Amino acid sequence: MSVKYIYSKNKLKGEVTVPGDKSISHRSVMFGSIASGMTEITNFLQGADCLSTIQCFQRMGIEIEWKRDFVLVYGKGLRGLSAPEKTLEVGNSGTTTRLMAGILAGQAFGSVLSGDASLNTRPMGRIMAPLNSMGAHIESILDNGCAPLKIEPGILHGISYQSPVASAQVKSAILLAGLYADSETLVTEPALSRNHTELMLRGFGAEVTSSLHEDGSATAGICPCRQLYGQKVQVPGDISSAAYFIAAGLLAPGSELLLCNVGTNPTRAGILKVCEDMGADITYLNCQNTAGRGGEPTADILVRFSRLHGTTIEGSMIPALIDEIPIIAVMAACAEGKTVIKDAAELKVKETNRIDTVTENLRAMGCQVTPTEDGMIIEGGKPLSGAHIRTYLDHRIAMAFSIAGLVAEGETVIEDSQCVDVSYPEFFDTLSRLY
Ligand code: S3P
């Protein structure tokens, strides 16, 4: 167990370039591996989750080379992966498990996927049901709806699937299996989840459609594919990692922070809208957009200390900020008045049950929080006091409560702080450089 001690500081000043986006890094290796030719990835995130993805594809015969400024993936085409000799170890990574299951469902060989203790309790029925209805053969080895998963070869057919959850991992698993199906595959979700798969697969040459409906639901479609083509992928900075510094800049009196080259895809950047709703002083500089060419929009984000007030976060906003709810909850605890978070039952099936882990730790810092079935109600405005934070090895809890510790009175201890390695290994070094 490693612990970090965080003490309150007055202001944070400077520039931060956060590491590459985790979701996009995963996809770049996966799509590069099943494309024909070489894929060159710049700003790839070297966090533990993305390294799990790399290792899995290496075990299936893909050569991946680390250069100084980029990663090279030597793709072998849609049917060029080879049978792994051992279990594919996915570590803590839900994205590796679910997206890779979509790809493996279409292979001519069998495989087994397994992760760490947290991963192996997360629900996999949400991908097994639609993939098996396409003709895949995926079973939960312990018959509990979780990994380890055993995947046997199957002949895949296109389906039109109504997903009960707005989940990019579910949508992406089905779209990836759809590459191998004999007819078009459609996935409709109740609200639009992050669309990195659609944007990037289009860039790799797949025929992908997307439409938004009047009731807020969204459909993505994919046609059976003969070949994907290796690409140059520029991974933007991860807004989920930038979120901690955005909050730090807004909460610590006198702060001014510039976050450079952050991905601002609207299906991911819900936290920026929430900050604005809470009264944040945010300026966007140097905005770029290569979304039409398989890329993603980016901007430099300037944040200055602001007096925040409570807000309501609900409905179709939730998928665009689901991973940022722990740090939004910290901002809410420091803001004047009440914040209500609802329609976010998905929080219960993340790396931890984040309704529980956020509630427990905010309470430890003296904040009044009421957990609900699908979110929480936070009474903000009372100064936070330093506390012993239990992360339960959840990287986003560790980082969110480090920022809470910065603005709290007294010492905060972050238990198992090394869990930040999952998505942001340099987090504590970067934080300590700013004050
Ligand atoms: C991700 C999708 C989200 C998110 C996860 C990464 C992705 O999960 O929470 O951290 O890369 O597709 P769900 O799709 O389950 O909501």
Task: Spell out the residues 6+ positions from residue 68 whose beta carbon is closer than 8 angstroms to its own.
Answer: none
User: How many angstroms separate the CA atoms of 327 and 62, rounded?
Assistant: 37
Q: Which of 21, 238, 300, 323 is catalytic?
A: 323
CA of 359 to the centre of ligand 1 (A): 21
CA of 57 to the centre of ligand 1 (A): 20
Task: Spell out the residues 6+ positions from residue 135 whose beta carbon is closer than 8 angstroms to its own.
Answer: 154, 155, 156, 157
DSSP assignment letter at 37: E
Please check whether residue 333 is in contact with residue 286, taking contact to mean a CB–CB distance below 8 angstroms: no
DSSP assignment letter at 214: T
Residue 28 Cβ contacting ligand 1 at under 6 Å? no
User: How many angstroms separate the CA atoms of 415 and 435, rounded?
Assistant: 22
| Cα distances (Å, whole numbers) of residue 135 to 71, 126, 132, 144 | 34, 15, 5, 21
Please check whether residue 231 is in contact with residue 35, taking contact to mean a CB–CB distance below 8 angstroms: yes
Give the per-residue pLDDT at 213.
98
Roughly what angle, to the nearest 10 degrees, separates helices 94-104 and 22-34? 20
Task: Spell out the residues 6+ positions from residue 377 whose beta carbon is closer than 8 angstroms to its own.
Answer: 338, 339, 340, 341, 369, 370
| 126 CA closest ligand 1 atom index | 15
CA of 161 to the centre of ligand 1 (A): 18
Residue 323 Cβ contacting ligand 1 at under 6 Å? yes
Residue 193 Cβ contacting ligand 1 at under 6 Å? yes
User: How many angstroms separate the CA atoms of 141 and 129, rounded?
Assistant: 15
323 is catalytic: yes
Task: Spell out the residues 6+ positions from residue 52 whose beta carbon is closer than 8 angstroms to its own.
Answer: 89, 90, 91, 92, 93, 96
CA of 319 to the centre of ligand 1 (A): 9
User: How many angstroms separate the CA atoms of 376 and 392, rounded?
Assistant: 19
Residue 98 Cβ contacting ligand 1 at under 6 Å? no
Give the per-residue pLDDT at 290.
81
- For the sheet containing 160-162, what is the strand order? 160-162, 185-189, 218-222, 208-212
Please check whether residue 233 is in contact with residue 42, taking contact to mean a CB–CB distance below 8 angstroms: yes
Render each residue's pLDDT in the chain as its tens digit; 435 residues. 688 888 877 799 999 999 999 999 999 999 999 999 999 999 999 999 999 999 999 999 999 999 999 999 999 999 999 999 999 999 999 999 999 999 999 999 999 999 999 999 999 999 999 999 999 999 999 999 999 999 999 999 999 999 999 999 999 999 999 999 999 999 999 999 999 999 999 999 999 999 999 999 999 999 999 999 999 999 999 999 999 999 999 999 999 999 999 999 999 999 999 999 999 999 999 999 887 777 899 999 999 999 999 999 999 999 999 999 999 999 999 999 999 999 999 999 999 999 999 999 999 999 999 999 999 999 999 999 999 999 999 999 999 999 999 999 999 999 999 999 999 999 999 999 997
Give the per-residue pLDDT at 3.
86
Please check whether residue 204 is in contact with residue 231, taking contact to mean a CB–CB distance below 8 angstroms: yes
Neighbour tally for 11: CB within 10 Å: 15
- Burial of residue 340 (CB within 10 Å: 0-12, 13-18, 19+) is middle
Give the per-residue pLDDT at 8.
76
Residue 167 Cβ contacting ligand 1 at under 6 Å? yes
Please tell me the pTM assigned to this model: 0.97
Give the per-residue pLDDT at 128.
98
Neighbour tally for 170: CB within 10 Å: 24
Backbone CA torsion sign across 295, 271, 344, 403: positive
